[in-house]
A and B are shown apart, each in its own frame.
Chain A
Amino acid sequence: MAGEARGLSLRQFKAILHKDIVMELRTKEMITSMGLYALLTMVIYQVALSQSGTAFDPRNIAAGLLWLAFVFTSMLGLNRSLVHEKDQGCLEALLLSPVDRPVIFFAKAIGNLIFLLIVQALTIPVFAFLFLQQGSYAGEWWMIPLALLAGAVGISGVGTLLATMSVNTKGKDFVLAVLFVPLMYPLLLAAVSATSAAVLGGDGSVQQFWTGMGMMAGFDAIMLLASFALYEFIVGA
């Protein structure tokens, strides 16, 4: 019985994820809007830093700039992942089927994570080219991807949760924007700290990196548990 139920949940999870990826490949809605937005942010950074002179080393603020771009980009993109279900009345069809609500959450969150990672992968080279030419990157090569991944997990999870909340609310974008930043605050702090340690290196940077990673892992775990417990309630509202 239990095994059967788990088998069905897995099948449903795969079906939702597969459907979202197929639809995204077809419409390219989220990737284009998020990718474009991230690139535009890079251009704006370029302008903003154009007068900073040679004495200033952009590496000092690189981590902050990067995460700023990712936060705004995901606020824009994650909203779409559930809005398109709602607009076409498909959320109802999804809710009508015998699927445990957390399965919907995990499938949507993993889908969003994949899209966000793609956007990150597109953004990083541009960012490095524009801002990190002088002075080399100090950390181990795997530090940055690891920090990006831990942060992206948190962003996708919270983003998916809030996007679901906001589909049933009137001021959709408003809800997401207002709640997103306060909820993300601890994660962002840890993400910026870990990424910064990786970029800058120096004394104690390894320890700073792992402290940040630990905080992110804790945040991700709490967020996933909370989503698991709350999703039924949120989606049914």
Chain B
Amino acid sequence: MTEPATIDAAVEVRDLTRTFGARKALDRVSFDLPRGAFLSVFGPNGAGKTTLVKVLTTLTAPSKGTAKVSGFDVVADAVELRSEIGLISHNPLLYPDLSAEENLVFFADMYGVPDAAARVRELLVAVELDHRRLDLVRTFSRGMLQRLSIARALLHRPKVLFLDEPYSGLDPHAVEILDHLIEQIRADHTFVMISHDLAKGLALCSHALILAKGKVVLSAPREELDEAEFAETYRATVGLGVA
């Protein structure tokens, strides 16, 4: 449709706009992300970060512009795209009245995961919730919920992972678990992570993006960034306040 960007692009965003009434949550956002990259998205509250992730994960339709993830258009190829992506969002996206194991088995079925039982067990062990697998999710703490939702997002081995503030609410040990999980799958996955933690976001990323009031303020590969300058830009945009 538009000019073909690099074949290898995991995410291709062109003039993406999303309005809610008169408010522009995203305003002509454009950027590319190569396969295997790790994008950290920064920006003040209300900048449009979550909206961006929702559009890229097919949960919200764009008002204008186009976006492709893993080569699939978020509108036209939404069904195919959904098998390729995983999302860890603010919400755990788990059923409180099902046990940890039942939740994962349910989502394994929804994604058509082969050999579901083994995969579920493997992930429960990886997020260190195997001993609580029979407990109702209702009884879980915030950090445990977050770990389980990480397991849910990884079930179907998605190629592109979206993480909306995945570290919020985690204790240091859970942070380690998440770090470890990311490190393990880093090589063969593309990541888009929203973060308010500048140090953490920069340490992990290969690309950085700052959004403010729905617009791209800065978008650059990590190696081209001057850290002090970046921090200055970030502070200035956050200083702009809520859109």
Instruction: Identify the A interface with B (CB < 8 A).
Output: 8, 11-12, 14-16, 18-19, 22-23, 26-27, 88-90, 92-100, 236
Contacts and interface: CB of A to CB of B under 8 A. Distances in A.
Given A23-B97, A26-B97, A96-B58, A89 B92 contact: yes
A8 B89 CA distance: 25
SS of B interface (majority): loop
Nearest to A8: B112
B146 interface: no
15 contacts: A11-B112, A12-B109, A12-B112, A15-B106, A18-B106, A23-B97, A89-B92, A90-B94, A92-B59, A92-B91, A93-B93, A96-B93, A97-B110, A98-B79, A98-B111
B57 interface: yes
Interface of B: 57-59, 61, 79-80, 82-83, 85, 87, 89, 91-98, 102, 106-107, 109-112, 152
A194 B75 CA distance: 46
A26 B139 CA distance: 14
A236 B61 contact: yes
Contact of B107 (A93, A95, A236): A93
Contacts of B91: 88-89, 92
List 7 tightest A-B contacts by C-beta distance, closest first: A89-B91, A15-B109, A93-B93, A97-B110, A98-B82, A8-B112, A98-B83
Contact of A96 (B80, B87, B98, B106): B87
B154 to A, nearest CB: 13
A97 B89 CA distance: 14
Given A11-B109, A11-B112, A97-B110, A88 B96 contact: yes
A90 B95 contact: yes
Contacts of A99: 110
B59 A95 contact: yes
B82 A96 contact: yes
Contacts of B83: 98
Contacts of A8: 112
Contacts of B58: 95-96
Nearest to B97: A23
B79 A96 contact: no
B106 A92 contact: no
Given A8-B112, A12-B109, A19-B106, A89 B98 contact: no
